[in-house]
């Protein structure tokens, strides 16, 4: 996603690409993971286990448990989780909805279903789902689970309802997990409070220095603070952790072009970005003389 802002040092518009980890629930200890994203990539916020890890009879076994314990939402949720691991998205969603019929506020099913909705662009549907759950949790000790609160913020952001996204992040107080902090950083950087992102970005990076998304977002906060070399180091670290993540390449192109004034280096970084993504929120293809390439890609349907 694009973040436009002005720097006191340069007085000119600068851009950065924010990466995000969508929050994975860990209510049952099932250990769901997430995949980091760059600007313009269709979000994939749940990393399934390898297909070989799903036994052929595991889903049937979970469904049999669900039949024998019809008041227990865990088993249809488990069937949905296993179906997702087996790349059966329709069956996964059906099973998750079965779990929510039993308990509409069952957090693991809410979290996983909201991620399926994120992947398919059904953000308004997810907001309705999560807002209803938040209302149900209002009178409960502990309140609305932070993981679901962070997911709600991300869906509001995708609907361009930045104020509501910011309000949802503000209700996180101190996010418990690095994925929740990453979501908070993402919303802050894209919203009206980007300067508040520095502390949670640094904290997320300290907790998980192996994750490219945290290095990328930390680099953006360093660039905002005028620490160009610190930002460059962070973007390079992001590439080292995950060379497939497009965002850091785009950000390095911006950094070299508008902060270090090295057009050749900027063009090289943008070329590396272009190999990974044709999303171009700030028209850098034109800046680097690649507009015809973008037009050709658009004709072929390669550019959303």
Locate the domains of the chain by residue range: 1-23+196-304, 44-176
Q: What is the CA radius of gyration of the chain?
A: 20
Q: Which two tokens stand for residue 200?
A: 């949670």
Decide if 47 contacts 254 (C-beta within 8 A): no
Note the pLDDT of residue 56: 65
195-227 confidence digits (pLDDT tens): 667 777 788 888 889 989 889 988 988 887 788
3-state secondary structure of 23: coil
Distance CA 123, CA 115 (A): 10
Decide if 166 contacts 192 (C-beta within 8 A): yes
Note the pLDDT of residue 166: 78
CATH topology identical between 1-23+196-304 and 44-176: yes
Say what percent of the chain tops pLDDT 70: 69
Residue 303 pLDDT exceeds 90: no
Note the pLDDT of residue 174: 56
- Higher-confidence residue: 45 or 212? 212
171-188 confidence digits (pLDDT tens): 775 555 656 666 766 666
The answer regarding whether domain 1-23+196-304 maps to CATH 1.25.40.10 reads yes
Region for 107 from its dihedrals, namely left if φ exceeds 0, alpha if ψ lies in -120 to 50, beta otherwise: alpha
Note the pLDDT of residue 139: 84
99-128 confidence digits (pLDDT tens): 999 999 899 999 999 999 988 999 999 999
Decide if 173 contacts 136 (C-beta within 8 A): no
Note the pLDDT of residue 89: 92
In sequence order, the β-bridge partners of residue 5 are 14
- The mean pLDDT value of the chain amounts to 75
Residue 168 pLDDT exceeds 50: yes
Note the pLDDT of residue 208: 84
**Closest among 11, 8, 14 to 219, alpha carbons compared:** 14
Q: Which CATH class is domain 44-176?
A: mainly alpha
pTM over 0.75: no
In sequence order, the β-bridge partners of residue 17 are 2
In sequence order, the β-bridge partners of residue 179 are none
Q: Counting Cβ atoms within 10 Å, is residue 151 exposed (0-12), middle (13-18) or buried (19+)?
A: buried
Decide if 169 contacts 162 (C-beta within 8 A): no
Q: What is the DSSP letter of 47?
A: B
46: CB partners within 8 A, 6+ apart: 22, 24, 32, 33, 34, 35, 84, 112, 115, 116, 119
């Amino acid at each position: 996603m694009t973040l436009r802002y002005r720097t006191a040092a340069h007085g000119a518009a600068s851009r950065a690409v924010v990466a995000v980890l969508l929050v994975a629930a860990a209510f049952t200890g099932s250990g769901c993971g997430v995949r980091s994203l760059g600007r313009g990539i269709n979000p994939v916020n749940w990393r399934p286990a390898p297909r070989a890890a799903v036994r052929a009879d595991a889903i049937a076994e979970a469904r049999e448990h669900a039949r024998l314990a019809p008041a227990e939402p865990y088993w249809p949720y488990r069937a949905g989780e296993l179906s997702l691991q087996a790349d059966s998205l329709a069956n996964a969603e059906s099973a998750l909805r079965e779990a929510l019929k039993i308990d509409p506020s069952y957090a693991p099913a809410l979290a996983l279903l909201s991620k399926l909705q994120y992947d398919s662009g059904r953000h308004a549907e997810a907001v309705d789902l999560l807002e209803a759950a938040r209302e149900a949790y209002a009178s409960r000790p502990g309140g609305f689970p932070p993981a679901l609160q962070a997911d709600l913020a991300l869906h509001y952001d995708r609907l361009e309802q930045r104020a509501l996204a910011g309000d949802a992040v503000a209700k996180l107080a101190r996010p418990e997990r690095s994925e929740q902090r990453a979501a908070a950083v993402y919303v802050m950087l894209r919203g009206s409070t980007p300067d508040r992102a520095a502390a949670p970005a640094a904290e997320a990076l300290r907790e998980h220095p192996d994750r490219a998304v945290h290095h990328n977002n930390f680099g953006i906060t360093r660039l905002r603070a005028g620490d160009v070399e610190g930002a460059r180091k962070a973007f390079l670290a992001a590439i080292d952790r995950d060379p497939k993540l497009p965002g850091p390449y785009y950000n390095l192109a911006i950094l070299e072009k508008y902060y270090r004034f090295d057009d050749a280096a900027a063009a090289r970084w943008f070329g590396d970005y272009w190999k990974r993504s044709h999303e171009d929120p700030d028209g850098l293809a034109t800046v680097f003389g690649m507009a015809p390439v973008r037009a050709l890609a658009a004709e072929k349907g390669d550019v959303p």
